[in-house]
Each structure stands twice: as structure tokens, then as C-alpha cells.
Amino acid sequence: MILIISGTNRPNNYSRKMALQMQKMLEQGGQDSKVLSLEDLPSDMPVSDMFGNRSPVMKNVIKTLITPAKALMIVAPEYNGSYPGILKVFLESLSDDDDWKIMEGRSVMLVGVSAGRAGNLRGLDHLTSVLHYMGLPVFHEKLALPGIVKILSEDGAWIDQRSKAVLQRRMDAFILSLK
């Protein structure tokens, strides 16, 4: 199973819309996948799941999503020139107790999205450094999708078929790299 993480808790965000499109694309290719949106985690997660504490919700996320995942795809929006703080807190919550190596060794594909023109390239570089420190190899073909509102509609449907084709090629290459 490939776990796709939508890296923000902002309501009605484009990262989740992209993650759901990626899930459809994986399933069409015969790949089992699940989506974890940080929007769905409890709002007190930054407090309740730090420093060795585990809420029942986070225990369930680890048991049903993190542990069975053979690889990760993270959709990271651009927030102030980087990736969202809630994504960093989520990663910290997985790495600060005896289970800190819970994801070590799993390959990660990164997709950056932004309303602006850079597609969160800088944020993907920041995120890569953190993931490498955690022992997760990051797929070398990061994908930056600028102008996300011209790529996906408000209801999450594809507008830009060229971007969809580029994403499909990157996802195919990532899956091949897992074998």
C-alpha cells in the first residue's frame, strides 16, 4: 500500500484534492493506496501527540496507515516559502519516542503545490532535508505544480491535462523505483 499524505490542515485545500486525484491514478494502475489528510487529524494533535504521548486517533493512524505503507507520497503546499508547520509537527509526532524509526527506509515521492509560480520548490527542499534526517530516501524527481487553481478545479477535477500527464509519468517512475 502507498500512503498519500495531504500535508496541510487548512479546510477545503488543494493538497487534499491533488492527493485524491493521485489515489485515483494509482488505483487505475492497480496500486493499492490510501490518503491521509492532516485536515482529518484532531486539532489538538500538536499537543496530544508529542513527547512520547499517543492519542487513540494517532495510534490508529500508525496501525492502519503508517505501518502498512510500503512507500509514501506527500503533497506539500507552499506556506510562507516552505511547507506547513502542521506537516513538520506531524512528522515530529512520529519520530519523538521509542517508535521514532517507524517510517525509516520507506521511499517518499514529493509533490509541491502552490497558487504562485514556484510550486513550493523551496519547501520541497526543506522537507527533503527533514525526511533524509529521519532516514527516508526521497525520490529524485520532485514535482512542483505552480498555479494549482489552473490545474485542478474547486471541486478537484483536472483542468490541465498536461500536468496530469507529467504527474502520471513521475508516479510511474517512482513505482518502478520501488521494485
- Tell me the three cell numbers of residue 9: 490542515
| Strands 33-37 and 71-77, sheet pairing | unpaired
What are φ and ψ of residue 20, in 5° steps? -65, -35
Instruction: State the average pLDDT over residues 15-26.
Output: 98
- Is the pTM value of this prediction over 0.85? yes
Question: By residue range, what is the domain housing residue 89?
Answer: 2-177
| Strands 2-6 and 33-37, sheet pairing | parallel
58 falls in which pLDDT band (50, 70, 90)?
confident
Each residue's pLDDT tens digit, 28-52: 999 999 999 999 998 888 888 887 7
Each residue's pLDDT tens digit, 88-118: 999 988 876 555 677 888 999 999 999 999 9
Instruction: State the average pLDDT over residues 142-161.
Output: 97
pLDDT at 97: 57
CATH of the domain at 118: 3.40.50.360
DSSP code, position 44:
T
- Can you say whether the dihedral through the CA atoms of 9, 12, 15, 17 is positive or negative? positive
Mean pLDDT, the chain, integer: 93
Three-class SS state of 119: coil
CA proximity to 39, closest of 6, 85, 83, 79:
6
How many domains, in total, are found in the chain?
1
pLDDT at 98: 59
Segment among 40-44, 75-79, 83-87, 98-102 with least mean pLDDT: 98-102
Percentage, residues of the chain above pLDDT 70: 97
Query: How many Å is the Cα radius of gyration of the chain?
Result: 15
Bridge partners of 5, per DSSP, are: 36, 74
Q: Where are the alpha helices (DSSP H) in the chain?
A: 14-28, 45-48, 56-61, 85-95, 121-133, 161-177
pLDDT at 52: 75
pLDDT at 103: 81
pLDDT above 70 (res 176): yes
Each residue's pLDDT tens digit, 118-145: 999 999 999 999 999 989 999 999 999 9
